[in-house]
Amino acid sequence: MLIVLLLGAAIWFGGGWMGAPRDVRAIFLGLLYIAVLGINIAFPEAHPLRPATGGSAALWLVLGGFVLVFLGYRQIILHLRGRGCPDCGSIRWSWLGPLVSAKVIGPVA
């Protein structure tokens, strides 16, 4: 499982170092997640890649559920912020940092 985390870190930070946009890096992390989930679901128990990627799809499904809950909550908060104050949609939350793109909340003033 450590190898998957290292690959994810290499995708995110290596892509940032090379200047790849966040959207592209997020897509590649999603592809890595789908590949690991596919390995844990499709390969037999005795295959050496299963223990290297955690051995079970349950942990990866829980991780994916947490990510979906976080992204859904973020979308709800951003929607509510936009409804409450028309000028507030252009303010970037500093604690979200790189997780909030200009496409989601509009241009930063």
Burial grade of 36 (CB within 10 A; 0-12, 13-18, 19 or more): buried
Residues 37/60, Cβ–Cβ less than 8 Å: yes
The pTM of the full predicted model, rounded to 2 decimals, is 0.69
DSSP labels, 24-91: HHHHHHHHHHHHHHHHHHHS-TT-THHHHTTS-HHHHHHHHHHHHHHHHHHHHHHHHHHHH-GGGGGP
Tokens 């949609």, located at residue:
89
Mean pLDDT by 10 residues, the chain (109 residues): 91 93 93 93 88 87 93 89 63 53 53
Residue 61 confidence (pLDDT) = 93
